[in-house]
Amino acid sequence: MSFDQKEMFNLMYKLARLTVPDTRVEYDSMGPVSVPLDRLFGPQTMRSVMNFQIGGMEERMPRPIIVALGMLKKAAALANQDLGLDPKVAEAISSAADEVISGKLYDEHHFPLVIWQAGSGAHTNMNVNEVICNRAIELLGGQMGSKNPVDPHEHVNKFQCSNDGFSSAVNIAVAMELQEKLYPALRRVIDTLGQKQQLWKDIIKIGRTHLMDAVPLTLGQEFSGYKQMMTHSRERLDSALSRLYQLSLGGCLVGTGYISPKDFSSKCVKQIATITGLPFVNAPNLFEALGCRDELVELHGVLNAIAASTMKIANDIRFLGSGPRCGLGELQLPENEPGSSIMPGKVNPTQCEAITMICAQIMGNQVAVSVGGANGHFELNAFMPLIASNVLRSIVLLSDGLEALNKNCLEGIQANTARIKSIMNESLMLVTALNPHIGYDRAALIAKTAHANGTTLRQEAINEGITGADFDNWVRPENMLGPE
């Protein structure tokens, strides 16, 4: 006995209804699928749930990407209305997209798909299409899953595909996360470091190179270096961000724009710029925009550089604060919580430890992003979920880590001026001030003799025939802070 396709679908429908309670049956091009009654997604989402059970809910597609796709679908609906889409359908899609943008539907688990799926993000693109479609149908008083009067392909996804849609949503999500999280965190850290630079501009301390004593500088000068490192990081971020504003919308499948009206992409991108308040534009070359994700690789390279700078600063601070009595002890770090379950009174530089672990994780993410960026084959990069999730995770970790470091460490750091003065006065490298007066070799002999005998530079200089008055006049740390 043979069945035509419709009869086969009907039989499968009946079987699904018999075997899976509390579900509805929806159809896609491969047949019927049972979908939980309390979920807005449809058959293609359900197939991905069944076929990609990898990692669980903790590996879900990041919320910012879902929000960005909501913005993109809203913009597309408005653009399509200008191009002839039924205004009632466009309005329903737009309203449903607003609920996606709010994050409400994400929190209700209507977006269950994990990162590990189709490399173009096709499953998540369809997940969003189905959720918006079914919610729009509800808003119009229709039957969820009926595809009437709204269809996920014909209306929500009109003139788009996952290739240009998902890739554009990734750029939108990353750009917004940078503006909302990382930029404010960087700004606060830079401001705090600038305040410490001014506050400590007159505190003279010993410098260190190769972890060994060097000539003096001020604590303010030392922190000015930290401030400049983070300022340069922000400037590099500005440059990388400008490329993220170029969206691949309109490229459709391979970059030619086939199936898309000429004006669709420009109208859609203009709507996205309005919705986000960010200066998104059409990419100048859609083949590049689809075939590679160099802008994200470049951006994560900047995040990696920020991590390297932050790790250097955090390590310097915890070493300068080591002790309190048996370390350097030049800085007094805030005491936030007990540091040991067995050593009473111990306090540790926990904020520095947390941010340096974050930096290490970002450096690991850099490897994944680089490998993903290198795997753009022909007209599509099929590592987009991997790249996007790692970039977004690095932004969140770095932003939150910098905020915590600033609030719970940097703002409360105090200078231990007594310890700073004591260490500086004991340093043998103040002998450098004698170079212009007695020469390198003779000055080196004084330093080595003082170190061997456990005496002071002044005492050994006098033993070498230098008067105490000359020594006191020549070896003045306050005169060693800049050019002659």
CATH number reported for the structural domain that contains residue 465 in this entry: 1.10.40.30
User: pLDDT tens for residues 242-260?
Assistant: 999 999 999 999 999 998 9
Q: Which of the four pLDDT bands, split at 50, 70 and 90, describes residue 142?
A: very high
Whole-angstrom distance, CA of residue 68 vs CA of residue 42:
20
Q: The tokens 């001020």 sit on which residue?
A: 218
The answer to whether the CB of 136 falls within 8 A of the CB of 89 is: yes
pLDDT value at residue 196: 98
Domain boundary among 158, 181, 208: 158
CATH number reported for the structural domain that contains residue 97 in this entry: 1.10.275.10
Burial group, residue 441, by CB count within 10 angstroms (0-12, 13-18, 19+): exposed
Residue 245 within a domain: yes
pLDDT value at residue 10: 55
pLDDT value at residue 1: 40
pLDDT of residue 5 exceeding 90, the answer is: no
Domain that holds residue 452: 428-479
Whole-angstrom distance, CA of residue 393 vs CA of residue 298:
16
Separation of CA 436 from chain center: 50
φ, ψ at 105 (rounded to 5°): -70, -25
Residue 9 within a domain: no
User: pLDDT tens for residues 419-477?
Assistant: 999 999 999 999 999 999 999 999 999 999 999 999 999 999 999 999 999 999 999 99
Residue 294 within a domain: yes
In this prediction the pTM is 0.93
Q: Do 356 and 446 fall within a single domain? A: no
Whole-angstrom distance, CA of residue 357 vs CA of residue 130:
39
Residue 6 within a domain: no
Looking at the structure of the chain, the number of domains it has is 3
Residue 14 within a domain: no
Q: Do 104 and 201 fall within a single domain? A: no
Q: Do 363 and 268 fall within a single domain? A: yes
Which residues form the catalytic set? 210, 340
Domain boundary among 111, 141, 158: 158
